[in-house]
């Protein structure tokens, strides 16, 4: 699949099914990727606003929001080809 941002909107612009018997299902999943990508960026903003760390007396420990933000940031960077 080829997914590009066209006029500010992520779109699937090409799909070449292989011999996979589930190519229609694959195409449907791929067509949802732009919306999932935008939702991931929104979730990253949400978690970044709530990220914090606690001190346990010896070190700072990331809260769950900070951990999720880091995971989303890495996934977004990979999707954008920055890793």
Distance CA 80, CA 53 (A): 28
- Model pTM score: 0.66
Give residue-wise pLDDT tens across range 13-70: 555 656 566 777 877 888 888 899 999 999 999 999 999 998 989 999 999 999 999 9
Distance CA 42, CA 49 (A): 11
């Amino acid at each position: 699949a080829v997914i590009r941002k066209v006029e500010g909107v992520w779109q699937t612009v090409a799909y070449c099914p292989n011999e996979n018997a589930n190519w229609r299902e694959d195409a449907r999943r791929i067509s949802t990727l732009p919306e999932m990508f935008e939702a991931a960026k929104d979730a990253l903003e949400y978690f970044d606003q709530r990220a914090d760390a606690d001190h346990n007396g010896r070190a700072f420990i990331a809260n769950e929001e900070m951990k999720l933000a880091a995971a989303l940031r890495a996934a977004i960077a990979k999707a954008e080809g920055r890793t």
